[in-house]
Chain A
Amino acid sequence: MASDTLSTTDLTSLGIAELAPLLRDRVISPVEVTEAQLDRIARLDNRLHSFIAVTAEPARIAARKAEAEIAAGSYRGPFHGIPFALKDIVDAEGVPTTAHSRLMPDTPAAADAPVAKRLKEAGGILLGKLATFEFALGGPSFDLPFPAALNPWNTDYLPGGSSSGSGAAVAARFVPAAIGTDTGGSVRWPAAVCGIVGLKPTYGLLSRRGVQPNTFSLDHCGPMTRTVRDCALMLQACAGHDPFDPGSADAAIPDYAAALTGDIRGMRIGWVRGFYAGHASDEVTQAVDTAVEGLRALGAEIVEIDLGPLADYCDCKTLISMSELFAIHKPDLQTRPEKFGAKLRQRVIGGAFIRGEDYIQAQRWRTELARGILASFANVDALVTAGWLTTADSAAPGSPDMFRKWLNVTMPFSLAGIPAMSVPCGFGEHGLPISLQIAAAPFAETTVLRIGDAYQRATDWQSHAPILS
């Protein structure tokens, strides 16, 4: 079969949308794609530490099975034969879930999390488990049992988090697709600073079961890929109702790729410039402003919208999260605090000082803030702002803890529970990526994807690749 014309490097540079027809038409085999990705990981991940565990042999078995199925005419769809990886707070049967922590037992997970199961059922080939901030919160930490992931664009910098390994691995062409999780921005931040696409879907669209919790009312799984089209294809493969997850939404799943018409003429887009202007670095502000002008040039009507101070959303979200995190981690904190990485412990410990009244007032504030955002969709189809306020942070130990300094531009859409996606929109100092964020009404993933895809058709940021070899 294949690959008289496609080298190993070529195969790892292809995304889902490019691989799928080649796999379907047996121009290439899932075995070749899997071997190419495993080879790249083996050669280069010692520089990035994006993987905690590479499940090479089970991947080879799955790849041979996919190859046989396709050869037998049982092609399952665009995710069939596609390698992917999971943030290591998501269970995969037979593999320990470490949460990048000493606190987890090293026993294998008994079953796949539904989001992993759906991807496998779509024919996806799991290559392994990816680095994360400890329990999707405490990081980057340099006192954990696994090293912190680094940014493939420049290894003196971090890949953001908490889905740090997911961002790094997709950007590095180790996998074309990864699952991250996002409570306050943990898909969108690493996507933004790694120059890839990361979607936090509507709350409940993807099951949270089998995923280590951070904040029950804010936790989401989300696809991370190099293009918006790939994101749509991956979302199609993993979205759906899970009756065993009380947060799961029993919503119709549209054809996401069909929404990618490339045409956004006449769409009204709310420009939330106040979320980043004056807060972001100059290079981020300029790149995002330029990207918004690009959307205008594509025929969208841009309307500037004020959604209030960003700090309100951050304080509200953080108080809610710290309360829930304390409830989750307090038994371990009390009995074995030394097993925590310092950053996780320092972020969880404050939950002891949040009173019941504070928590309820924060939840009432969430209602008010979310209603403010949701009301804007009476007048616009989507909102745009920065994907992150800075480029990647330095990896030097002792660098300032961004959890204390930050204003977080992803948190407003977390509180509102709406779909929001980071899309690359430029590069800044040191060759580090900059990102645009697009959000829309609940379950309007098609709108987010359509705008992002139209933007990517008109630009070429997604075609840039970090140089690792």
Chain B
Amino acid sequence: MTEFTPTRDEIVLLARHAGLDLPPAYFDELVDAYANVRRMAARLPHNRPRGDEPAHVFTPTKFLPVRS
């Protein structure tokens, strides 16, 4: 699959899609951040066994109200 290399306008649109609608003064920072993040994300291992657990454990008792 060819890597998606978005244009500057598309990066701004992607940020907007994530709920971040910034003034044009910050567009350079968005473009720079996009390249940095996607470089790291591209290194993420994929194709894990379905049951591979993330490093999240939810312990319900941790969220019980605490009696003082």
Contact = CB atoms under 8 A, between A and B. Distances in A.
Given A363-B55, A365-B44, A333 B20 contact: yes
Nearest to A369: B55
Contact of B20 (A244, A352, A360): A352
A358 B32 CA distance: 19
A353 B34 contact: yes
Nearest to B49: A364
A330 B20 contact: yes
Query: Interface residues of B toward A: which range?
Result: 20 to 34
Contacts of A404: 36
A247 B34 CA distance: 31
Contact of B44 (A247, A350, A361, A370): A361
B29 A318 contact: no
A208 interface: no
A95 interface: no
A364 B48 CA distance: 9
Contacts of A415: 55
Interface string B9-36: 0010011001111110010011011101
B55 A366 contact: yes
Query: Interface residues of A toward B: which range?
Result: 35 or more
A361 B46 contact: yes
B41 interface: yes
B54 to A, nearest CB: 3
A137 to B, nearest CB: 14
B11 to A, nearest CB: 8
Interface in A345-369: 345-346, 349-355, 358, 360-368
A337 interface: yes
Contacts of B40: 315, 318-319
B54 A367 contact: yes
Given A333-B20, A364-B54, A349 B44 contact: no
B4 to A, nearest CB: 11
A349 B43 contact: no
Given A363-B54, A366-B55, A352 B18 contact: yes
B54 A360 contact: yes
A334 B20 contact: yes
B66 A337 contact: no
Contacts of A299: none
Contacts of A354: 37, 41
